[in-house]
Structure 1
Amino acid sequence: MNINLMDIVGRVSHQCDIMFRVIDIREKHGKKIAILYGEDFRLIADAPYEDLIKIDPSMRMRLTKEFRSLEEQSYKLFRQDVDLLQQKQEYEVTEGYSKSYNYFQMPGKVLHIDGDPNYLKKCLTLYEKVGVPVYGFHCNEKEMPEKVGMLLDYYRPDILVITGHDAYSKSKGAMDDINAYRHSKHFVQTVREARKKVPHLDQLVIFAGACQSHFESLIHAGANFASSPSRVNIHALDPVYIVAKISFTPFMERINVWDVLRNTLTGDKGLGGIETKGVLRTGMPYKKNSSD
């Protein structure tokens, strides 16, 4: 069976547990090696060409259906959270609904830098669906440290997302050795560069990391939230649920870490963070445009 670039495949040695896209096929020591990106997880892997099998349409449909069901469940829970936040805010602004005020809200702006253009597109669709103002930028993980400063100056976001693909390789070192990870060191460098621009944790909220990333290093570098405490895979959309909750939480309120993690698809094994302020601001009066 011929396997080509962008085919959806599984690894026979791993019982086809994850669907991958083939992004490159190269020769190594006289053998064909495929470079793979997870289709639903932010994981990068390489595998012998002969270990791969194309995922047939029926299996792909079944696996995709399972993931979409999980995504929809997560979205509904997140939507409930946001609705409760908005109701609470309305109650406070109107002094217990006793007064009628025309007010407006400004959710926190997000700059999302992603190493995978397909994942970035999925994330931007979800941001739009939940109403988070966002700027998306695709950039290879290795180039992120040199580009993040310029992007922060240009977009001036409240929240920065630094993500893409990552993986831990046991053959390259112990789990506490950052050099044993595919892109963790690049994410760490990017966080450090961002903190040179905005040192304060509540003036720029940062999410950083991907599948199996070196969580501790990312937090120590200055990220508010990061992956992956237990070095597990994280879902492609998990960063969106985290930063959207922060975007819709008023800036006078502190966010309990578990409140942010509980509606993600991965939970606290794949995601973690530190106590952080929200970034939503409320103003008045609200003036309708003539086009409204």
Structure 2
Amino acid sequence: MGIGDVVVRKSYGKDITFKIIDVKEDNGEVIYILKGISIRIIADSSRDDLELVNKEFIAEKDKILNARVSQAIKNAISSRGGTYTRITKSPKIIPEKELMFGRPGKVLHIDGDEVYMENCLKVYKQLNIEAVGRSVIEREQPLKVVDMVKEIKPDIVVLTGHDGVHKNAKDFLNLDSYRNSRYYIEAVKALRDYNSSYDELVIFAGACQSCYEGILDAGANFASSPNRVLIHCLDPVFVCEKIAYTRIDTVVSITDVIENTITGIKGIGGLQTRGKYREGYPKSVYL
């Protein structure tokens, strides 16, 4: 087995497919560092627990997740039928529906994993959301995020990548128990020092098993992971979709945001937040 091979872990029922990204030696034992293909997690394993699979192989859990992704995309698009084009009528102007137009919120997605980022950008495009992606490793995100926000001027910022709870960790509020949670927290704090308004700048931060409470306390609107579970690589995208396409004068239903994700309430949570969708009238005749 070597870097780039696709494997499953026998002790976990072969539930998740991983790619080997590094091989290390610990006290004479070879340890394989693994990255989830669809799940935002970094793990390690001994050789004996791994089984090679073909690149075409999709673990049973991945099949279920992929089906949920397809359904979530359909639900997101179909839910916009009339939902985001309403406008209050006045005695002077009664807008015709065909003359209405709108602008969803703009997203800056900063991801510690370039492959995950590219997959997210494809789905943003499917959902008709303007999104700019930047691949930045987790420990550098606090140093670079504010300059990127100043450059791109997004309405919504996503800070994600990989995370995970260290083996034998018992204190789930101690940042030493996590691989990367401290970096997400530092990045969120930097953003809130730059813009303290939860409505002007909406922030999602975290990855698999991240320190949910610490990230929210730092100033994020939404975070992972309340129950320290694994989250899907596209969960941040579906959070953004709900915010981007909810009207600016409406507080987004937190339960609607969570139900819109792949992982659900155990993996994603957050605070009341206003939408970023702005309606306009009338449409330009030249477009």
Q: Same fold (TM over 0.5)?
A: yes
Which segment is superposed worse, 227-236 or 19-28? 19-28
Which segment is superposed worse, 32-41 or 64-73? 64-73
The number of aligned residues is: 285
Shift of 1:125: 0.4
Instruction: Please tell me whether the aligned partners of residues 82 and 245 of structure 1 are also in contact (alpha carbons under 8 angstroms).
Output: no
In the TM superposition, what whole-angstrom CA distance separates every residue of 1:17-65 from its partner, at most 9, and x where no partner exists?
Answer: 2111111112222221111111111111111233211124674276554
Could you say if the C-alpha distance between residues 65 and 171 of structure 1 is closer, same or farther in structure 2, counting changes exceeding 3 Å? closer
Task: Select which of 279, 283, 286 maps to 1:282.
Answer: 279
Could you say if the C-alpha distance between residues 281 and 98 of structure 1 is closer, same or farther in structure 2, counting changes exceeding 3 Å? closer
Task: Select which of 53, 71, 74 maps to 2:72.
Answer: 74
Counterparts of 1:103 and 1:79, CA distance in 2: 18
Counterparts of 2:23 and 2:95, CA distance in 1: 65
Task: Select which of 36, 41, 44 maps to 2:42.
Answer: 44
Instruction: Please tell me whether the aligned partners of residues 127 and 134 of structure 1 are also in contact (alpha carbons under 8 angstroms).
Output: yes
Instruction: Please tell me whether the aligned partners of residues 173 and 179 of structure 1 are also in contact (alpha carbons under 8 angstroms).
Output: no
Counterparts of 1:42 and 1:172, CA distance in 2: 19
Instruction: Please tell me whether the aligned partners of residues 94 and 100 of structure 1 are also in contact (alpha carbons under 8 angstroms).
Output: no
Shift of 1:171: 2.3
Task: Select which of 18, 21, 43 maps to 1:20.
Answer: 18
Counterparts of 1:275 and 1:220, CA distance in 2: 14
Could you say if the C-alpha distance between residues 94 and 128 of structure 1 is closer, same or farther in structure 2, counting changes exceeding 3 Å? farther
Unpaired stretches in structure 2, ≥5 consecutive residues: none
Shift of 1:79: 2.1
Q: Residue 135 of structure 2 aligns with which residue?
A: 138
Q: Residue 176 of structure 1 aligns with which residue?
A: 173
Shift of 1:172: 4.2
Could you say if the C-alpha distance between residues 242 and 233 of structure 1 is closer, same or farther in structure 2, counting changes exceeding 3 Å? same
Which segment is superposed worse, 202-211 or 172-181? 172-181
Task: Select which of 220, 225, 229 maps to 2:226.
Answer: 229
Could you say if the C-alpha distance between residues 85 and 51 of structure 1 is closer, same or farther in structure 2, counting changes exceeding 3 Å? same
Give the share of equivalent positions with the same residue, in percent. 37
Counterparts of 2:60 and 2:11, CA distance in 1: 20
The 5-angstrom pairing of residues 206-217 of structure 1 reads: 206-217=203-214
**Greater helix percent: which structure?**
1
Instruction: Please tell me whether the aligned partners of residues 250 and 280 of structure 1 are also in contact (alpha carbons under 8 angstroms).
Output: yes
Q: Residue 127 of structure 1 aligns with which residue?
A: 124
Instruction: Please tell me whether the aligned partners of residues 85 and 248 of structure 1 are also in contact (alpha carbons under 8 angstroms).
Output: no
In the superposition, the TM-score normalised over structure 1's length comes to: 0.91
Instruction: Please tell me whether the aligned partners of residues 256 and 275 of structure 1 are also in contact (alpha carbons under 8 angstroms).
Output: yes
The 5-angstrom pairing of residues 141-180 of structure 1 reads: 141-180=138-177
Question: Match of 1:100, as an amino acid?
Answer: E
Which segment is superposed worse, 72-81 or 29-38? 72-81
Could you say if the C-alpha distance between residues 153 and 99 of structure 1 is closer, same or farther in structure 2, counting changes exceeding 3 Å? closer
Task: Select which of 205, 209, 212 maps to 2:202.
Answer: 205
Q: Secondary structure of 1:83's match?
A: coil
Counterparts of 1:163 and 1:62, CA distance in 2: 25
Q: Residue 10 of structure 1 aligns with which residue?
A: 8
Instruction: Please tell me whether the aligned partners of residues 20 and 34 of structure 2 are also in contact (alpha carbons under 8 angstroms).
Output: yes
Counterparts of 1:18 and 1:61, CA distance in 2: 6
Q: Secondary structure of 2:7's match?
A: strand
Instruction: Please tell me whether the aligned partners of residues 40 and 163 of structure 2 are also in contact (alpha carbons under 8 angstroms).
Output: yes
Q: Secondary structure of 1:269's match?
A: coil
Q: Residue 255 of structure 1 aligns with which residue?
A: 252
Q: Secondary structure of 2:81's match?
A: helix
Instruction: Please tell me whether the aligned partners of residues 26 and 34 of structure 1 are also in contact (alpha carbons under 8 angstroms).
Output: yes
Unpaired stretches in structure 1, ≥5 consecutive residues: none
Question: Match of 1:126, as an amino acid?
Answer: V
Q: Residue 106 of structure 1 aligns with which residue?
A: 103
